[in-house]
Amino acid sequence: MLVSIIVWLIVGFLAGLLAKAIVPGASEKPSGFWGTAILGIVGAIVGGFIYFMVSGGNRSFSTGLDLMSIVWATVGAIVVVFIERAIAGRRVI
């Protein structure tokens, strides 16, 4: 269980870093280690859902510390960044 949590943090942090590097302007908003890790973990959940939908419900995809987990988590994190921007762009304070 503890190993799984550590792997989620590592994959999430890597995915968050990659998403911030890929999306223009995303790195201008500092969020620290935990913010980047949370972005990546939420991205991993979204990316897993996207993979599930694209693959037609293929459940053979295993998560872990591998390249495809990082790729799908990064795709999901990029989607999360764009959703966050769309929501934040409509806010009136």
The parent domain of residue 7 ranges over 2-89
On whether the CB atoms of residues 72 and 43 are closer than 8 A, the answer is no
Within a 13 Å sphere around the CA of 25, how many CA atoms are in the beta-carbon half? 4
On whether the CB atoms of residues 33 and 67 are closer than 8 A, the answer is no
- pLDDT tens sequence across 45-73: 888 788 778 877 666 655 567 787 788 88
Task: Retrieve residue 79's tokens.
Answer: 């989607």
Task: Retrieve residue 36's tokens.
Answer: 């980047």
DSSP H helix total and E strand total for the chain: 3, 0
Query: Total structural domains in the chain?
Result: 1
Residue found under tokens 């995915």? 15
**Residue-level pLDDT at 25:** 72
